[in-house]
Amino acid sequence: MNEIPGPQFLRRVDPTRNMARFYILLLQPTLFGETSLVRQWGRIGTRGRQKVEYFTADHEAASALSMLAAQKMKRGYAGDDFDVAGGTRVRR
- What's the pLDDT score for residue 87? 43
Q: Running along the chain, 92 residues long, what does each successive block of 10 average in pLDDT? A: 76 94 95 96 95 96 95 91 46 45
SS (H, E, C) the chain: CCCCCCCEEEEEEEHHHCEEEEEEEEEEECCCCCEEEEEEEEECCCCCEEEEEEECCHHHHHHHHHHHHHHHHHCCCEEEEEECCCCEEECC
Q: Which pTM was predicted?
A: 0.79
